[in-house]
Structure 1
Amino acid sequence: MFENILRIYGLDPVTANVQQFGDGLINHTWKVNTPEQNYILQKVNSDVFKRPSDIDQNFSLLRTYLNKECPDYLFVSPVVATNGESLLHIDNGYYRLFPFIEGSVSVNVLTKKEEAFEAAKQFGKFTKLLNGFNVKELNITIPDFHNLALRYDQFTIACNEASAERLEKAAESIQFIKEHHGLVQTYNEILNNTAIPLRVIHHDTKISNVLFDDQYKGLCVIDLDTVMPGYFISDVGDMMRTYLSAVSEEETDFSKIAIRKEFFKAIYDGYMGEMQDVLTDAEKPYFVYAGKFIIYMQAIRFLADYLQNDIYYGAKYENHNFNRAITQITLLKQYIKLEPELLSL
């Protein structure tokens, strides 16, 4: 398989060395080492991304714009093969090749507020540089990805169809979600506010989607498959959800879940350092809401999946998605408790 792909990219499969790379959960990724240059090869998960060609077209549109308007920005986009294509359809799979950025490093576990600052700065910079881009030209690569109203409706359906046993176990969590339905109403207000624009949003701002230099200064953002039209609360909120707690969504000792206020400040300073003059006056008051928005939505998704017998995320052990939901609910409770302090930071 690799031999054919490498040849289409003009690489010699005899001198190339291909090894599995990273721990991404969606796409299959390999590093390709050659005597001349190193690359990253990916097989796009077409179960998640139903139309890989839409992603490829988004890359092309963004690359053309940034090359013209911001030529010094490090935009990591697919290599064009010898057949003129940047997305190969081979043996019912979709593949693309990226240049490997030598000297770059990535972070899988966030331990320093400085890293949070640099990451937030890079995600803010990405959206800022594309402020003049016509966002309506972008394809929607995952429809309704951050549609909180839809997720709540799906949760309601899950509650109506769940077994009595799972409903009983999740009763307290279900009640919490219902009591905070106001977060959905706020989301709908944002959608209906014409002063809050759609922007070019990454939608997956985990720390591993930022490249750093050897001094851990941010270089750029990567993994752009989820780049779509969206609202700034998606990127900010996802950073809140994944950066603020020292433990991950897989933690089962819920006493370890706590908000690191200094990391909130780092996110704010990094992101707003780039976006302060870009965000409208109508957007800025929703910065703290952004954290509630994404944490609440992820709690809903995990809880709904548990109620539907783990059909979406799957479960590695009994009550896996229930525990994940409790982790998000606990994080949200901590966040809401600290909200007055966060608003004043």
Structure 2
Amino acid sequence: MASGHINDTYLIKTKEKPYFVLQRINHGVFKNVPGLITNKVSVSLHIRKKMAHLSEKELKGRVLSFLLTTNDDSFYHKDSDGNYWNMMIYIDNSVTFEMVNNEEVAYEGGKLFGDFLNQTSDFDVSKLVEVIPKFHDMSFRYSQFKAALQSTPKERLYKAKLYIDCVTDLKEEMHILQNLKESGEIKLRTTHNDTKISNALFTKNNKGLCVIDTDTVMPGIIHYDFGDAIRTICNTAAEDEINLDLVEFNATYYMAYTKGFLEHMKSSITPLELKHLPLAAKTMIFIMALRFLTDYLNGDVYYKTKYPEHNLDRAKNQFKLLQSLSQQLSKIQN
């Protein structure tokens, strides 16, 4: 059976374990698939070296293990249909979560993603391909927003006015991290760039096992990974919940995730990076709100929608989450 929003992923069951995961990479979305696969294979091999003290069996449960083709390549490409395929060893006896419902999972998730960043902190980022150019680039997202305003029907502009004003008011603050990155004050690292909780594997006893879905591994700053994880973990409602009274920022989960994250990052995080972790949460919530709003203004051309106001409702949801976070910011910073 295939699964996945962008790529197609198949579980291959054989007579004897291990089972395998076969993946078809969407070459319509990702323009440099060989580079993408090289990224994630190289990073996995780097992490494996850091865990050399573990047995081979333990390694296969703690880090993604990719198989080679008969030609010793990390992917198979068929020219006639353009598809690229890669295969991994399936990590048995593992579970995933779509949403966090207790502090232990938030804490263990923080440990997993913090450990991923720590283990790759000495990986040479110049060897990584930028698989989605300008993915978290705030100036780029603002330029898309500005262009959308020029062609949006008046009705949509009217319905979105409150949130358009909010985007304008937050522009300076939302560029702080990008400016620190571009000045070199915050260094480039190997980052995952899709740190939702469903991209972490756990044992059946809620202990963290392995970070998965590394298709978006590329150069970035730790605030991208920290902030996006917080965005998805700390929302008390679904991303498109229309009853905004249900949308709150769960500060308890924030504390639990941050505790786990810093346990593994304490040896490689800088004081400046640490100082801006709360801003990272705010920034990553905002950038998703901005992207949903921009797509609504553009006539819903990027995200799949189920009804005409779906993207606007998603944007409202994220802006409410941002407001809830802002109200608790002093507690979080302490």
TM-score category, normalised to shorter length:
over 0.9
Q: Do residues 53 (structure 1) and 34 (structure 2) align?
A: yes
Structure 2 residue 112 is the aligned partner of structure 1 residue 122: yes
Aligned to 1:4: none
Task: Report the 3-state secondary structure (helix = DSSP H, G, I; strand = E; otherwise coil) of the residue aligned with 2:98.
Answer: coil
- Residue range with higher mean Cα deviation, 257-266 or 77-86: 77-86
Per-residue CA deviations over 1:246-294 (Å, capped at 9, x if unaligned) read 2121111111001111101011101111112211122111010011111
Q: What letter corresponds to residue 119 of structure 2 in structure 1?
A: L
SS class of match (2:328): helix
1:83 corresponds to: 71
Q: Does 1:239 pair with 2:245?
A: no
Identity, % of aligned pairs?
A: 33
Structural mapping, 1:198-217, within 5 Å: 198-217=188-207
| Aligned alpha-carbon RMSD (Å) | 1.4
Whether the 8 Å contact between 2:110 and 2:261 is mirrored in structure 1 is yes
Q: Residue 66 of structure 1: CA displacement?
A: 2.8
- Residues 40 and 217 in structure 2, CA contact (< 8 A), matched pair in contact too: no
Q: Distance in 1 between matches of 2:162 and 2:45?
A: 51
Paired amino acid for 2:292: F
Counterpart residue number, 2:155: 165
Kindly provide the CA deviation profile for residues 95-142 of structure 1, in whole angstroms up to 9, marking residues without a partner as x.
111111111111122111110111111111011011121111111111
* TM-score where L is the length of structure 2: 0.93
For structure 2, the residue ranges without an aligned partner over 5 or more in a row are none
Deviation at 1:67, TM superposition (A): 3.3
CA distance in 2, matches of 1:342, 1:63: 33
Deviation larger for 90-99 or 335-344: 90-99
* Secondary structure of 1:150 counterpart: helix
Aligned residue among 212, 218, 221 for 1:222: 212
1:89 offset after TM fit, Å? 1.3
Secondary structure in structure 1 of the residue aligned to 2:271: coil
How far 1:36 moved relative to its partner?
Answer: 2.1
* Alpha-carbon displacement from aligned partner over 1:217-269 (angstroms, at most 9, x marks no partner): 00110000011110011011101110111212111111100111110101110
1:65, distance to aligned residue in structure 2 (A): 2.4
CA shift in 2, pair 1:80/1:266, >3 Å: same
Report the Cα offset of residue 188 of structure 1.
Answer: 3.4
The aligned counterpart of 2:166 is: 176
Question: Residue 149 of structure 1 contacts residue 184 of structure 1 at CA under 8 Å; is this kept in 2?
Answer: no
Secondary structure (helix, strand or coil) at the match of 1:282 reads: helix
Aligned mates of 1:174, 1:252 — CA distance in 2: 19
CA contact (8 A) 1:70 1:129 kept: no
Q: Tell me the residue number matched to 2:50.
A: 69
CA-to-aligned-CA distance 1:67-91 (integer Å, 9 cap, x gap): 3333235221321122322211133
- Misfit runs of 4+, over 4 Å: none
Aligned to 1:270: 260
Question: Whole-Å Cα distance in 2 between the matches of residues 229 and 181 of structure 1?
Answer: 24
Asked if structure 1 preserves the Cα contact closer than 8 Å seen for 2:137 and 2:178, the reply is no
| Alpha-carbon distance in structure 1 between the residues aligned to 2:77 and 2:5 | 21
SS in structure 2 at match of 1:29: strand
What SS does structure 2 have at the residue aligned with 1:95?
Answer: strand
What is the CA–CA distance in structure 2 between the aligned matches of 1:43 and 1:58, rounded to whole Å? 16
Find the aligned partners of 2:47 and 2:181 in 1 and give their Cα distance: 28
> What is the distance in 1 between the residues matched to 2:237 and 2:296?
21
Task: Report the Cα distance in structure 1 between the residues aligned to 2:178 and 2:100, rounded to whole angstroms.
Answer: 32
TM-score normalized with structure 1 length: 0.90
Q: 1:111, 1:246 within 8 Å by CA — same for their partners in 2?
A: no
Counterpart of 1:16?
Answer: none
Q: Alignment partner of 1:40: what SS?
A: strand
Determine if contact 1:195/1:280 at 8 Å carries over to the other structure.
no
Question: Would the aligned equivalents of 2:109 and 2:197 in 1 still touch at CA under 8 Å?
Answer: yes
